[in-house]
Amino acid sequence: MLDGVILVGALRQRVEKAVGWHGAPPTGRSRGPVELTPGAGVAVLRPPLTWLGSPAARQDWVTAMAATLTAAPGRPLPPGTPGVAPAIDRHILEVASPAEQTVLCNLLRQHSPLLIALTGRSAAGTRRLGAARDQVAARHLDAADAEFRTLLESHLRRVEGFEAFDRTDVHPSAEPDGTPTVVVQCIDAAATLAAVRAHALLLAAFALRARRLVQDGVALEPMAQRVVDENRARAVASGLRARPADDGGSTLRARTRRLLADVLAVELDNLDTQPEELFPILAPVERLADDDSVLTGNPDAAGRALTDTTAGGPCLAAARRAAEGRTWLLVERWAGVIAARGGGAKPSRGTDGARR
């Protein structure tokens, strides 16, 4: 008799990818495997919830998004390029249980300043988040159920004059069919689909880490809200150079290296991560390149960069042209780091909360 379901490895994700337009923008919603919806200033690309637990699945994912963009009239452009306002990419991650939803929200809240610094593309993008009055830092959750969310919203409204819990950087949510999810909306709109892939891969590793913590019965210590707020402000102002309020002797760049190598590498290995896929994240951490450095004022070139679906995309290609040896060493070093931390059992959890 089947009395439980074992969930192993990554669950599904989707993204609401902001896209600018050169020429006539799309005028109606494009329906198909990937929706393209027109909006004020930017269009939004919406693939469905998709399992991204292998390189092949992630390749198929970005290829489907690129196909939708290239089939539309005009030329898609990355937000933040000339004539296109900065925006965010909203990432939505499926979770297996309310406990996992709570832990993942709190884990991402703790590292949200790092995500802001790591994905912040430009001064314009950073200013957008820093000046936003309708979005604030994530709050710690004691639980992700509706009753607790109602209490927290009431507190935010009464004490902080803030109306909606879903305007925080990270929060629990649910799909129309009831699937529990976690929403991450502090990530700058990526310049390329290769960077979207890297961001999704990083978030998938966080999700696996959260499931492992739940499986092992490990609770996250709440981080003081003032520390999250201060670290967020520093990330907005200084990016990866920022010194966290809770570790003034380090920087967010150094913290990112430690997080990837010491905490998330085992999950990246479980996702069969190829270091080239992570290159749009690794390159700025190692001061080698970033996606903005390969964009030009030419709309055709920017459009081609956006829809490049190769692992690492234009950022990796440009780095190889500029410093082939250093780029090769970086890729090989991170392949070694991920492999060295690999071999850990994939976290699994019965949906009824019992181990199987």
Tens digit of each residue's pLDDT (9 = 90 or more) over 1-36:
444 444 446 789 999 999 998 766 676 666 668 999
Q: What is the rounded average pLDDT for all residues in the chain?
A: 85
Spatial separation of the C-alpha atoms in residues 34 and 64, rounded to whole Å: 7
Among 181-195, 212-226, 288-302, the minimum mean pLDDT is found in 288-302
39 pLDDT above the threshold of 80: no
Give CA–CA dist 162/276, Å, rounded: 41
**Residue 91 in this model has a pLDDT that exceeds 90:** yes
| pLDDT number for residue 128 | 66
206, 216 Cβ separation under 8 angstroms: no
pTM: 0.90
Residue 356: per-residue pLDDT: 28
d(CA 113, CA 228): 7
Q: Which residues of 307-327 are buried (b: 16+ CB within 10 A; e: fewer)?
A: bbbbbbbbbbbbbbeeeeeeb
Q: What is the pLDDT of residue 130?
A: 65
Which ranges of 184-264 would DSSP assign to H, the alpha helix? Answer: 193-215, 225-238, 252-258
The residue whose two tokens read 């010491």 is 262
